[in-house]
Structure 1
């Protein structure tokens, strides 16, 4: 999903057929984690999932070959887009560590956090916030859903996640649940007796969202000090007479706000 988001961020959607692009992203992801899969296998599985209905007709060998050529071409474009950089950290690997650090006593909070972290890839959060911040946001939301109050208040600064950034990440995830709860993984698993999420409803997420919005309105972003700024400037006059433009993610904006030049 992260590869798909990065690909669509830098390329026009009209030139990338979604079905083949998803297959190509899965193919690249499998290679990146050393679990390579055959292209034909991924294509056939994707077609079966897409056409899982009465009267399903499998692809012919010629159709598979045609899609395969398209997928291989898209694979090259995806690799060029991401610059062959596969240093992707996902929030799941931080959830267990943070649960232990925070002293989470309810194991279900960790399990729900895992599902929420998966749902976070349906938002722009992985493109805007570091993985450990997303993981902390998922744990906070899960604790609120399970009414676990023992871990609060949380000193997020000690976990290298400013409270304002955590709240912004939470709003992105909450907006997804408010608008698309029925299609989320959390809703699909909530019917299980193991999860027992009695508070899982849109009004619940809206109430949490409003509380976070009120808190965000009281927190001002720190103003950067140009005298002590040591980062890379958005426009560097040393590179050319016009300046070099550098795109930044939202969570970096506070560090370079003083460098913005209209």
Structure 2
């Protein structure tokens, strides 16, 4: 995820002057204002749970459908990675890029399978395990259709390859060109070897390592540090297998640069994953579902009994209430491109994100340096407004009173003139002429009597 610093400065508060002040000097709009700072984006390595929910809410994602796409996308990355014999580092990097990309873009704009394969394509370049886009597409196709395998030089991969290359730029902008990714597998192996004997660590590590792969099907890797995820995997593996519970539970987490709240939050994230997607995980097939539910209940009881612990380590109830009023959840369309088959869009349909800009975009890693640059160019873009009070005398026009007609009877009600007077009701006769003489005038040949 990236945090953008907006370069648009709000107008300053206006001040009131008297009429004696001189009018402002007109400014030529065509005159240059100074250097354009562009759009500065600062990379961010961690994202809180509340921020993740806000981003999904702003994108209008359906939570249930979003979980399915997240799990299936990471599973596709893992399957293609194993088919191409890529290292675990490439899988970890691709999963992180995939999560960040989907948090910043609506799922109705891009097919989640295309986003997963594009993330793997970028990760191969970052981790120096370079694979062509057509190789990745060919491996994904052969996994999906094993009865009809194709070669990577097949013409059917031409348009999907262009789409993957088009999505590559959006992924780079999403991660703010910050390629730093944390790899907990190496730390996990060293931690288990330090805590357990070689004979006991062998079976324990087999379950823990698979759990470290399943971890990337949740948002825990972009929320927690490496030591937090490692200690959560070690303790959850101990709870599932029933091995070395006392020794691992009594560890001082401060020596491992983490705390109990973050570890519990990560374990509950994993247990939610195993409870809802039991068959789509590596560890889920090794234990019965009841075992995961029992461990989850015990952790929830610990959270309820300890006032210092919560479901999430960092949470603001007031902010959550305000967000629900401002950003209601609106599920996406059922006919969005994300629900269609893979490779259904062509290159011309690759859309730029609303958050991106056509101006120059720079990515920096030092937030203080970015703010210093904004302060320098702030004088060129500041807009000052002044208000002037001017007293102007305006003549109030007099109201004209309608006058009575000079000729005719005094009371307009008794007037026989058709062009003047006021008659609140018909004056008799069929046509309203005179006092009942209109009916007799019809049979007298047009003769009229006064």
TM-score range, shorter chain: 0.7 to 0.9
How much does 1:57 deviate? 6.0
State how far apart, in whole Å, the 2-side matches of 1:201 and 1:154 are. Answer: 28
Counterpart secondary structure, 1:216: helix
State how far apart, in whole Å, the 1-side matches of 2:281 and 2:216 are. Answer: 11
Matched, 1:26 2:120: yes
Q: What whole-Å deviation, never above 9, does each CA across 1:3-59 have from its counterpart, x for those lacking one?
A: 11010011111112222211111111111111101111111111111223x4x2637
Q: Which of 252, 256, 269 is the aligned partner of 1:172? A: 269
After superposing on structure 2, the runs of 4+ consecutive aligned residues of structure 1 that deviate more than 4 Å are none
State how far apart, in whole Å, the 1-side matches of 2:220 and 2:170 are. Answer: 24
Q: Which of 92, 96, 100 is the aligned partner of 2:185? A: 92
Q: CA distance change for structure 1 residues 109 and 219 in 2, over 3 Å: closer, same or farther?
A: farther
Q: Show the 5 A alignment for 1:204-243.
A: 204-217=291-304, 218-220=306-308
How much does 1:153 deviate? 1.8
Contact kept? 2:274, 2:284, Cα under 8 Å: no
What are the ranges of 5 or more consecutive residues in structure 1 without an aligned counterpart? 191-199, 224-231, 241-262
Give the match for residue 248 of structure 1. Answer: none
State how far apart, in whole Å, the 2-side matches of 1:152 and 1:68 are. Answer: 49
Q: What whole-Å deviation, never above 9, does each CA across 1:192-231 have from its counterpart, x for those lacking one?
A: xxxxxxxx111111111111112122141699xxxxxxxx
- Structure 1 range deviating more: 103-112 or 84-93: 103-112
How much does 1:112 deviate? 1.0
Q: CA RMSD in A?
A: 2.4
Give the match for residue 42 of structure 1. Answer: 136
Q: What whole-Å deviation, never above 9, does each CA across 1:144-175 have from its counterpart, x for those lacking one?
A: 22211243322212211101110011000011
Q: Which has the higher helix share?
A: 1
Larger CA Rg, structure 1 vs 2: 2
Matched, 1:112 2:199: no
Q: Show the 5 A alignment for 1:108-257.
A: 108-149=203-244, 150-188=247-285, 190=286, 200-217=287-304, 218-220=306-308
Contact kept? 1:123, 1:173, Cα under 8 Å: yes
Contact kept? 1:164, 1:219, Cα under 8 Å: no
Matched, 1:11 2:105: yes
Matched, 1:58 2:150: yes
How much does 1:106 deviate? 3.1
State how far apart, in whole Å, the 2-side matches of 1:183 and 1:175 are. Answer: 13
State how far apart, in whole Å, the 1-side matches of 2:248 and 2:235 are. Answer: 9
State how far apart, in whole Å, the 2-side matches of 1:106 and 1:73 are. Answer: 45
Q: Structure 1 length as normaliser, TM-score?
A: 0.75
- Structure 1 range deviating more: 112-121 or 93-102: 93-102
Q: Structure 2 length as normaliser, TM-score?
A: 0.45
